[in-house]
Amino acid sequence: MDMIIATHNKHKVEEFSRILAPLGVTIRTAALTEAEETGTTFRENAYLKAKSACDETGLPCIADDSGLSVDALDGAPGVYSARYAPEGQRKQTVLQKLENVPDDKRGAHFTSAICCVFPNGDVLEAEGRCYGSIAHECRGAGGFGRGLRGQDVRRGVARREGRREPPRPLAAAVRRKTRKLFEG
């Protein structure tokens, strides 16, 4: 099945292509009008993007919305992750706001919501989260899910779902987890 992805991010196109290929889905891109993300949840914003793309193209469409929610910041940046601070300053802004926050209060989770909208009106949705805590410095490059890791700074190992494993970008981990929910 061919499916349009509602994104201009080439890394997301590659990632979704790779994780959906085993399901027989071929991801395609299209010149799409940018959908307004007026939802108050990741799930709502993913739906708005997928629905807008489906309406525009008349084809099945998939979209995601994702971001970081930090406990000590009352859930911010949350659905405003992409607009939380100027590009290139988002992670540093979070770290500055957490500068005097002790390790045991640096809890956070990364959420990824995925939505598929079909021309016949069918909708498939899934949402996944990875929990962890925010390290004291940036690691890696890219957005919140690539650089700020769910890192337990006391032990120096990532902790996800109660398991110890080598740190890896949360965005990719959550999208894989969400795809599994999507399959079932």
Categorise residue 155: left if φ over 0, alpha if ψ from -120 to 50, beta otherwise. Answer: alpha
**Minimal CA–CA distance to 118: which of 50, 20, 16, 179?**
50
| More confident position, 151 or 101 | 101
| The one catalytic residue among 55, 65, 74, 152 | 65
- Whether the pLDDT of residue 167 is over 50: the answer is no
27-82 pLDDT, tens per residue? 999 999 989 899 999 999 999 999 999 999 999 999 999 888 999 999 999 898 87
Give the type of residue at 41. Answer: T
Q: What span, in angstroms and rounded, lies between the C-alpha atoms of 23 and 173?
A: 18
Query: Angle formed by the axes of helices 10-20 and 170-183, to 10°?
Result: 40
Contacts (Cβ under 8 Å, ≥6 apart) of 135:
148, 149, 151, 153
Q: Looking at residue 183, what is its pLDDT?
A: 62
Tell me the average pLDDT across 82-99: 84
Instruction: State yes or no: cis peptide before 169, omega within 30 of 0.
Output: no
DSSP letter for each residue of 53-93:
HHHHHSS-EEEEEEEEEEGGGTT-BGGGGGGSSSTT-HHHH
CB 111 within 8 Å of CB 69: yes
- Whether the pLDDT of residue 155 is over 80: the answer is no
Tell me the average pLDDT across 9-23: 87
173-182 pLDDT, tens per residue? 556 655 665 5
**pTM of the predicted model as reported, rounded to 2 decimal places:** 0.76
- Whether the pLDDT of residue 146 is over 60: the answer is no
65 catalytic per annotation: yes
